[in-house]
Amino acid sequence: MQQVLIVAPHPDDDIIGCGGSIAKHCQAGNQVTIMYITSGDAGGIHYSKEELAALREEEARKAANHLGVSNLIFLRLADGYVEFNKENLINITCIIRDIKPDIVYIPHSQDGNRDHQVTHHLLMEACQRAGAPFFPECGTETWRITTILGYEVWTPIQDVHYSEDISEFIEQKLAALQMHISQLEYYHYDEAIKGLNCYRGIMITGCDYSECFTLLKITI
């Protein structure tokens, strides 16, 4: 059994970037944890930030449960203002040393969204720190991660290193995405993601639907 950590800057990035892979890990009996950096409190203008954060956490729970995941961590940083700072780095490194994941999924390095970029850099640094015998403030048991994959949300990956056939899980992924009702009010991005996964399947993987990744770290 593998420990898998999915890191989502906002609720729904987990499903968009790797929802099919999450369902596949669950079916294989792997232990999946999803960590949400923010609760997406800036993702709308018709609610207060508190109302929207609560609503989006509830949507995230339903969507994750639909894929078979119940281990969720909400860091509740401010949506749109995620910072690369000491406090966040310590907190995230502590979580990694605690969960001890074999595989970590994060936004790829060229994603155009600001929170996604900062999340990428925070996690790359935290994963590296977790494995070294330094930083006792982050927990005293080191943990070396063998694989980090970068998923695509706002900016398609130009140089794909790895793909996962999710044909069997596309309906489950789309159903989970549609549970983010507050977000689909503005854009029908479930259609866009279905299209992207279809394109990836046909052009890259040789199947109906796939998710594509950059390989950020692998240790054999």
Instruction: Tell me whether residue 153 or residue 170 sits nearer to Zn ion (CB atom).
Output: 153
Residues paired with 177 in a beta bridge: none
Contacts of 108 (CB under 8 A, 6+ apart): 120, 150, 151, 152, 155, 157, 213, 214, 216
User: Alpha-carbon distance 17 to 75, whole Å?
Assistant: 19
Q: Which residue is nearest to Zn ion (CB)?
A: 10
Instruction: Tell me whether residue 119 or residue 205 sits nearer to Zn ion (CB atom).
Output: 119
Specify whether the CB–CB gap between 12 and 183 falls below 8 A: yes
Taking the complex as a whole, the smallest distance from the CB of residue 12 to Zn ion amounts, in Å, to 7
Assess 9 for contact with Zn ion (CB under 5 A).
yes
- Strand positions, DSSP E, 126-165: 147-151, 162-165
Helix locations, 34-188, DSSP H: 49-67, 86-99, 114-131, 170-177, 181-184
Which one of the spans 1-9, 117-125, 128-136, 163-171 is the region binding Zn ion (CB under 5 A)? 1-9
Assess 150 for contact with Zn ion (CB under 5 A).
no
Assess 10 for contact with Zn ion (CB under 5 A).
yes
Which one of the spans 3-11, 160-168, 179-187, 202-210 is the region binding Zn ion (CB under 5 A)? 3-11
Assess 13 for contact with Zn ion (CB under 5 A).
yes
Assess 200 for contact with Zn ion (CB under 5 A).
no
DSSP state letter for 78: P
Assess 14 for contact with Zn ion (CB under 5 A).
no
Interaction site with Zn ion (CB under 5 A): 9-10, 13
